[in-house]
């Protein structure tokens, strides 16, 4: 850690004060820049689309809406819920990805690696097929429970070792995927409904859905912030972390609970969005270094920036139609995955 003493040739040394101040200024600047980008992308999410709306009209819609004003109606009924979903799901995915990479010490880990997407998808398919639930407000709870169950299973089996977590997650995904395909082949109606959810989108969810699920994101975010210091020690290895007085098993268990809450809620809200949980922690790490206290804070802002940015791009890239946020996010995150696979990432994961 930057401010902790270190041993060199038997002597305890500390970083030079000017270097510490320089790094602190750089990190603070990164956080402020991320906050500014988040505010800009929120405004863009509310103002841009098939129907462009002036920022002044957006503000009037939020503060003094006029009944019958079409611009105000679009902002309040369509874009405000969409932006809320992007904020909650983006922050949750960014934090969940940070926790997964920190706990597993795996630079290509993301929430999907733990089988959450597969678990949520199977639960949604069952809701379509067995119960006939087609409204997002109804099947969102099945998605949450399916993702939570898959993550709980993976962490209960593989909590002891980082490599085992990844292997168990891949195994759970491999087992669930054929079951999903089997159900979809038997029920064309379920297939038609599922294909819109599975691509990942911020549309179709109301403020009532966000209100019901945001406490899960809040609790998960608090846990992520509390665990950030422990992730710094865990990055040194289990033996070193134990020598420093940390209960490694407890840390991984709490991280698992946080991942279940965060990634499960994000998947329930927006569908199985790919690569946000992978790309955001790497971007944060490049900006602020390897201290997970800073990475966690920055990831909570960069996640919504990436997801809402993908949603806005999807609205503007094609005239009179749009690409789903999940498609655009995958296109943005794919180069990050390639860079990680080729080894051009910073150390410290």
Q: What is the pLDDT of residue 345?
A: 44
pLDDT in tens, 161-188: 667 777 888 888 899 989 888 888 888 8
Give me the residue spans of the domains in the chain.
25-65+85-322
Residue pair 122/180 in contact (Cβ under 8 Å)? The answer is yes
- Confidence tier at 15 by pLDDT (50, 70, 90): low
Mean pLDDT (the chain) is 83
| Mean pLDDT in residue range 212-222 | 90
105-144 b/e with 16+ CB inside 10 Å = b?
Answer: bbbbbbbbbbbbbbbbbbbbbbbbbeeebeebeebbbbbb
On the question of pLDDT at 85 being above 80, the answer is yes
Q: Which of the residue ranges 15-29, 175-189, 293-307, 330-344 would you say has the lowest mean pLDDT?
A: 330-344
* Cα distance between residue 164 and residue 93, in whole Å: 22
Residues 6 or more apart from 295 whose CB is under 8 A from it?
98, 228, 281, 284, 285, 288
Query: Hey, what are 80's tokens?
Result: 């405000």
Domain 25-65+85-322 class in CATH: mainly alpha
Residue 146 has pLDDT above 80, yes or no: yes
231 and 292 Cβ atoms separated by less than 8 Å: yes
pLDDT digits (tens, 9 = 90+) for 319-345: 777 888 888 988 887 877 777 666 644
pLDDT grade, residue 9 (50/70/90)? Answer: very low
């Amino acid at each position: 850690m930057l401010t902790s003493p270190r041993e060199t040739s038997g002597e305890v040394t500390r970083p030079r004060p000017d270097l510490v101040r320089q790094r602190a200024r750089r990190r603070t600047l990164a956080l402020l820049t991320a906050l500014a980008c988040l505010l800009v992308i929120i405004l863009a999410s509310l103002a841009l689309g098939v129907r462009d709306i002036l920022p002044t009209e957006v503000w009037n819609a939020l503060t003094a809406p006029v009944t019958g004003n079409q611009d105000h109606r679009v902002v309040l009924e369509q874009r405000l819920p969409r932006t809320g979903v992007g904020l909650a799901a983006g922050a949750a995915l960014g934090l969940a990805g940070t926790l997964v990479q920190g706990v597993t010490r795996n630079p290509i880990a993301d929430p999907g690696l733990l089988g959450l997407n597969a678990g949520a998808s199977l639960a949604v398919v069952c809701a379509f097929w067995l119960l006939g639930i087609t409204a997002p407000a109804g099947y969102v709870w099945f998605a949450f429970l399916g993702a939570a169950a898959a993550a709980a299973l993976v962490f209960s089996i593989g909590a002891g070792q980082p490599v085992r977590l990844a292997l168990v997650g891949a195994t759970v995904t491999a087992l669930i995927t054929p079951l999903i395909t089997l159900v979809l082949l038997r029920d064309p109606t379920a297939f038609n409904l599922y294909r819109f959810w599975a691509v990942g989108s911020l549309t179709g969810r109301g403020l009532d859905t966000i209100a019901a699920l945001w406490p899960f994101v809040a609790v998960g975010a608090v846990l992520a912030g509390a665990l950030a210091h422990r992730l710094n020690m865990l990055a040194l290895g289990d033996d070193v972390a134990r020598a420093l007085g940390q209960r490694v098993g407890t840390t991984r268990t709490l991280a698992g609970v946080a991942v279940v809450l965060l990634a499960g809620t994000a998947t329930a809200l927006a569908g199985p969005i790919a690569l946000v949980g992978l790309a955001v922690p790497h971007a944060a790490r490049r900006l602020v270094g390897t201290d997970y206290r800073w990475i966690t804070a920055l990831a909570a802002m960069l996640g919504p920036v990436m997801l809402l940015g993908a949603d806005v791009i999807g609205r503007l890239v094609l005239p009179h139609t749009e690409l789903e946020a999940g498609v655009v996010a995958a296109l943005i995150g794919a180069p990050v995955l390639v860079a990680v696979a080729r080894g051009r990432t910073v150390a410290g994961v």
